[in-house]
Amino acid sequence: MKLDELISVITNQTGSAVNQSMLAESLGVTRQTISNRIKNESEVTVSELEKVEQYFNFKLYRVTDALSADVIYIDYYTDVFASCGTGSIVFSSEKSKLPIAESMISGYSKSKLYSMINATGNSMSPTIEHGDKLIVEHWSGDQIQDNKIYVFCYNGEFFVKRLSKNIDEIIIKSDNPEYRVRTIEKSAFDDLILVGKIVGIIKNLA
């Protein structure tokens, strides 16, 4: 990971704007040093990442582990999705790139498209808590896999639920027992728009 990418990651994870001076202070160097290293596209070392984690008091989503693994950059949508139209999903324009180790993605494939969204609410607790980040494998026409967690749009609203499909209905389940099981009848299948399957969960450490 390069220094300018690190600044972007810290800003996205903490929700606070981070500049070169703050990064320099966290690493115990001058701002000019940081500026020069950014110009030279200098890579961040493991020890430097550890200093950053300690200074800003949060974990960089296992980026230190990812340094020794294959890393991909996926789109992170901070406000989930902008809208759900008839038959199509319009993603938010507010996005950034985050580094993710391939090992964090269940069944990773280079032929698949991935993105990350924020979880809201408690309907999938304890599996998914409010504030967790969800890695989504975009749907490409595959059959629904029973009891897997999906992101989908139904009647203009977005949901993160477990889905199972029978011949004449789709069963929608929450992991939180306070929420009842719901179904979508076959006649309403066309109103269900699958966004993708959850293939990774990054727990909120706050």
Residue ranges of domains in the chain: 3-60, 71-202
CB atoms within 10 A of CB 99: 19
Residues with Cβ < 8 Å from 78, sequence gap 6 or more? 12, 92, 94, 95, 96, 118
Q: What is the pLDDT of residue 62?
A: 47
pLDDT band at 52 (very low <50, low <70, confident <90, very high): confident
Tell me the average pLDDT across 117-123.
Answer: 86
Q: Does a cis peptide bond (omega within 30 degrees of 0) precede residue 99? A: no
Q: Can you tell me the distance from the alpha carbon of 50 to that of 126, in angstroms, rounded to the nearest whole number?
A: 29
DSSP-derived secondary structure letter, 102? G
> Per-residue pLDDT for 88 more than 60?
no
For the ranges 7-11, 23-27, 114-118, 173-177, the lowest mean pLDDT is seen at 7-11
> Per-residue pLDDT for 86 more than 50?
no
- CATH code assigned to 3-60: 1.10.260
C-beta of residue 168 within 8 angstroms of C-beta of residue 184: no
Bridge partners of 126, per DSSP, are none
Domain 71-202 has CATH 2.10.109.10: yes
> Per-residue pLDDT for 70 more than 90?
no
- Tell me the per-residue pLDDT of 133-168, one tens digit each, with 9 for 90 and over: 899 999 988 889 999 999 998 887 888 999 999 989
Give me the chain's average pLDDT, please: 82
Instruction: For the full predicted model, state whether its pTM sits above 0.75.
Output: no
Q: What is the pLDDT of residue 180?
A: 93
> Per-residue pLDDT for 102 more than 90?
no
pLDDT band at 97 (very low <50, low <70, confident <90, very high): confident
- Tell me the per-residue pLDDT of 171-182, one tens digit each, with 9 for 90 and over: 999 999 999 999
